[in-house]
C-alpha cells in the first residue's frame, strides 16, 4: 500500500515536469524566429507528448507520435527549410483588441467545459461504462489476440482504418502532383566520379 | 555528409537493426504495441538515414521512386482485398472470421493481412514524401 502511494506521487511529479516542459517548448516555438530551431523544438514537443502517452499507458499512440512527430515530420520540415529559407519573416506587430477578446472568451469557454469532464481514471466515466467493458471482456475471446488496440483498430473499426489508409495514399498523390516525384537525374559528373572509384577498386 | 566516416560506419550497423525492428513491430503487433502504421514509418526511417548519409541518388538506386508509388497503391489494394474476400464466403465487408473455419484464426489472418497492407502503404507513402521534398532542390 505504501509503495503504491509513493508510485502515485512519483508519477504526479513526472507528469508535472513533463507538462511544464511542454508549455516551455510551446512558448519557445512561438518566440524563436530561426525556423531550424523551431523544427528541432517541434521534434522535442512530439517526444514529450509521446512520453506523456506512455505515462497514460497509451503505448501504441506513443510509438506513433514518436515515429511520426519526432522522426518523419522533422525530416520533412528540414527538407522544406532547405528548399525555402531559415528565417521567419517578421511583420510589424499590430495590437488587435477584437482578436484578444475572441481568444480569451474561447479559452474561458473551453476551460469551463473541462469542469464537467469526469476526473482522470473515474471508473464511472461514460467512456468506461459504455463500450470499454464490451471490448476488454469479450475481444480476447472473440478475436483471439492479446493487444486490444490492434483488435479494435483492425476489426471493430476496420472501415475507419481502411479510410485512414486511403487518406494516407491520397496525401502521397497530392504531394506527387504538387512537388513532383523528386527523382534524381544522375548528372554526368557524378557518373564520372563513380567510374573513377570503380577503376581504383 | 558522406565524409563523416564515423556516421557512415555506425549507420551501416544501425540500418539493418532498424529494418529488423520495423518488421518486429509489424508482425508482433498483435502481442505488443505497434502495427502496420508504426512499422511503416520505422521501415522508411532506415532509408531516410541511408539517403542522408550516402546521397539521395544512392537511396533512389536502392528503391526507385516508381517502386514506392506502386507499393503505396498495392498496400491499399491488399487492405481492400481483405475487405472484399469475406463477401465471397458469405460474410460482410471486412468480416474476417469467415476466412478460415476457426473464427479466431480467421480474425487473426484478417488482422495480419490488413496490417501488412497498412504497413506497405505507410512505408511507401513516407518514402514518396521524402523523395518529393528532398529531390526538389536538384537543379
Cβ-contact B30, A147 below 8 angstroms: yes
Between B32, B126, B138, which is nearest A147 by CB? B32
Question: Hey, are the CB atoms on A155 and B94 less than 8 Å from each other?
Answer: yes
What's the domain count of chain A? 2
The ranges assigned to domains in chain B are: 5-137
For residues A143 and A72, membership in a common domain is answered with no
What pLDDT sits at residue A187? 54
What pLDDT sits at residue B139? 47
Percentage helix, strand, coil for chain B under 3-state DSSP, each rounded to 5: 80, 0, 20
What pLDDT sits at residue A142? 83
Question: Hey, are the CB atoms on A83 and B80 less than 8 Å from each other?
Answer: no
Encode burial over B63-84: b for 16+ CB neighbours within 10 A, e otherwise: bebeebbebbeebbebbbebbe
Which segments in chain A show pLDDT lower than 70? 1, 186-201
pLDDT at residue B138 tops 80: no
Residue A77 lies in a domain: yes
Torsion of CA A116, A119, A125, A131, to 10 degrees: 110
Cβ-contact A29, A48 below 8 angstroms: no
Mean pLDDT of B98-122: 91
What pLDDT sits at residue A199? 57
Contacts of A140 (CB under 8 A, 6+ apart): A146, A148
What pLDDT sits at residue A153? 87
DSSP A103-132: HHHHHHHHHHHHTTSPPTT-TTSHHHHTTH
Residue A78 lies in a domain: yes
| Domain final residue pick, A32, A66, A88 | A88
Mean pLDDT of B83-112: 89
Partner A contacted by B113 (CB < 8 A): no
Partner A contacted by B39 (CB < 8 A): no
Residue A117 lies in a domain: no
Residue A137 lies in domain: 128-201
Q: Which tens digits make up the pLDDT trace of B66-86?
A: 999 999 999 999 999 999 999
**Closest residue in A to B36 (Cα–Cα):** A150
Residue A57 lies in a domain: yes
Instruction: Indicate the average pLDDT of chain B.
Output: 90
Encode burial over A27-45: b for 16+ CB neighbours within 10 A, e otherwise: eebeeeeebeebbbbbbbb
Mean pLDDT of B116-130: 94
As a whole-number percent, the residues of chain B with pLDDT over 70 amount to 96
Which residues pair with residue A34 across a beta bridge? Answer: A87
For residue B93, the chain A residues in CB contact (below 8 A) are 159
Partner A contacted by B48 (CB < 8 A): yes
**CATH number for position A34:** 1.20.120.1200
What pLDDT sits at residue A137? 85
Residue with cell 516508381: B66
| Domain final residue pick, A88, A113, A143 | A88
For residues A145 and A83, membership in a common domain is answered with no
What number is the ipTM of this complex? 0.90
Q: What is the C-alpha to C-alpha distance for residues B113 and B40, in angstroms, rounded to an integer?
A: 14
Encode burial over A56-73: b for 16+ CB neighbours within 10 A, e otherwise: eebbbbbbbbbbbbbbbb
Residue A105 lies in a domain: no
Residue A122 lies in a domain: no
Mean pLDDT of B12-40: 90
Cβ-contact B59, B126 below 8 angstroms: no
What pLDDT sits at residue A93? 72
Partner A contacted by B100 (CB < 8 A): no
More confident residue, B54 or A4: B54
Amino acid at each position: 500500500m505504501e509503495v503504491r502511494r509513493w508510485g502515485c506521487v512519483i508519477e504526479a511529479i513526472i507528469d508535472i515536469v513533463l507538462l511544464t516542459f511542454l508549455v516551455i517548448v510551446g512558448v519557445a516555438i512561438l518566440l524563436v524566429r530561426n525556423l531550424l530551431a523551431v523544427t528541432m523544438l517541434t521534434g522535442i514537443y512530439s517526444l514529450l507528448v509521446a512520453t506523456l502517452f506512455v505515462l497514460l499507458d497509451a503505448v501504441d499512440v506513443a510509438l506513433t507520435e514518436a515515429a511520426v512527430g519526432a522522426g518523419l515530420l522533422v525530416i520533412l520540415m528540414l527538407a522544406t527549410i532547405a528548399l525555402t529559407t531559415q528565417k521567419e519573416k517578421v511583420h510589424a506587430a499590430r495590437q488587435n483588441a477584437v482578436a484578444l477578446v475572441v481568444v480569451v472568451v474561447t479559452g474561458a469557454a473551453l476551460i469551463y467545459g473541462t469542469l464537467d469532464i469526469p476526473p482522470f481514471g473515474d471508473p464511472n466515466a461514460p467512456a468506461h461504462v459504455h463500450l470499454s467493458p464490451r471490448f476488454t471482456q469479450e475481444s480476447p475471446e472473440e478475436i483471439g489476440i492479446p493487444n486490444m488496440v490492434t483488435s479494435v483498430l483492425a476489426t471493430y473499426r476496420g472501415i475507419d482504418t481502411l479510410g485512414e489508409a486511403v487518406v494516407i495514399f491520397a496525401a502521397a498523390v497530392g504531394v506527387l502532383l504538387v512537388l513532383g516525384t523528386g527523382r534524381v537525374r544522375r548528372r554526368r559528373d557524378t557518373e564520372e566520379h563513380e567510374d573513377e572509384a570503380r577503376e581504383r577498386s | 555528409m558522406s565524409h563523416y566516416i564515423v556516421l557512415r560506419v555506425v549507420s551501416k550497423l544501425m540500418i539493418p537493426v532498424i529494418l529488423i525492428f520495423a518488421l518486429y513491430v509489424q508482425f508482433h503487433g498483435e502481442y505488443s504495441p505497434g502495427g502496420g502504421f508504426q512499422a511503416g514509418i520505422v521501415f522508411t526511417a532506415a532509408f531516410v538515414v541511408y539517403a542522408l548519409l550516402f546521397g539521395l541518388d544512392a537511396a533512389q538506386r536502392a528503391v526507385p521512386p516508381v517502386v514506392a508509388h506502386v507499393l503505396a497503391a498495392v498496400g491499399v489494394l491488399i487492405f481492400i482485398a481483405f475487405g472484399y474476400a469475406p463477401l465471397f464466403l458469405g460474410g460482410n465487408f471486412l468480416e474476417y472470421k469467415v476466412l478460415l473455419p476457426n473464427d479466431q484464426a480467421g480474425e487473426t489472418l484478417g488482422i495480419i493481412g490488413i496490417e501488412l497492407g497498412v504497413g506497405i502503404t505507410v512505408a511507401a507513402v513516407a518514402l514518396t514524401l521524402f523523395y518529393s521534398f528532398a529531390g526538389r532542390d536538384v537543379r
